[in-house]
Amino acid sequence: MSYVFPPAPQVSVPVAGSDARFPVRRVYCVGRNYADHAAEMGADRREPPFFFSKPADALVAGGSEVRFPPATDNLQHEVELVVALAAGGADIEPSQALALVYGYAVGLDLTRRDLQLAAKDKGHPWDMAKGFDQSAPIGAIQPLPAVGHPASGAIWLKVNGQLRQNGDLQQMSWKVAEVIAKLSTYVALAPGDLIFTGTPAGVSKVQRGDLLEAGIDGVGELTVRLV
Ligand code: MN
């Protein structure tokens, strides 16, 4: 068997403390999973979790320069806890969900907010607002033995040294186990899947030249510069 042209390389993410890399299959994201961010977006604080996705090749390593995307005047940052799965399945019980986890990372769900708001108005899909090139910076994945299952601790983001987002993982409306379980009622999960679990309040507009620094207590830090 041969291909008509060489296939794209396997997307992967570094694993902290290891030379081996985490091979990525799919990238899912949770919308509005912190009540204070849902409120700043004008949404119901008690909404059940909903999901969207980004292409795996939208991932970009921490420490990189990220090209400011075209077709937006309102690019915004969303710092998020990312769950990396080592196993999958469908219709997973919340009590079984954490057994699928390989580890955790710090990620950014970069968002073209102007396109997202226009899509919401028209009932259009969010893909071009959320799933553009380099829209998912991610730090090294901390394997479970190193990090445990972080359920509390600061989750923050600075732009050019100024604190913009400063939440706590305890504020997640839907916890990691609930997110995995609910997502698995829509799609079969598999090893290599990543789930961005939503962002706390404080999202704001960024521009070319800005330095974005983000972190989660016990999980790590992530820095990118927009160019
Ligand atoms: Mn998000």
223 CA → ligand 1 middle, Å: 17
Query: Does 7 reside within a domain?
Result: no
203 CA → ligand 1 middle, Å: 10
Query: Does 111 reside within a domain?
Result: yes
215 CA → ligand 1 middle, Å: 15
CATH of the domain at 81: 3.90.850.10
Query: Does 3 reside within a domain?
Result: no
70 CA → ligand 1 middle, Å: 19
Query: Does 36 reside within a domain?
Result: yes
Query: Does 136 reside within a domain?
Result: yes
- What is the per-residue pLDDT across 165-222, written as a single tens digit (0 to 9) for each? 999 999 999 999 999 999 999 999 999 999 999 999 999 999 999 999 999 999 999 9
Query: Does 221 reside within a domain?
Result: yes
24 CA → ligand 1 middle, Å: 19
- Domain span at residue 22 reads 12-226
The confidence score (pLDDT) of residue 45 equals: 67
- What is the per-residue pLDDT across 138-166, written as a single tens digit (0 to 9) for each? 999 999 999 999 999 999 999 999 999 99
Long-range contacts at 68-71 (CB < 8 A, ≥ 24 apart): 68/207, 68/208, 68/226, 68/227, 69/110, 69/112, 69/132, 69/133, 69/134, 69/135, 71/112, 71/115, 71/128
Q: Take residue 44 and report the two structure tokens written for it.
A: 């119901």
Please give the tally of structural domains in the chain: 1
What one-letter code names the amino acid at 109? D
Query: Does 155 reside within a domain?
Result: yes
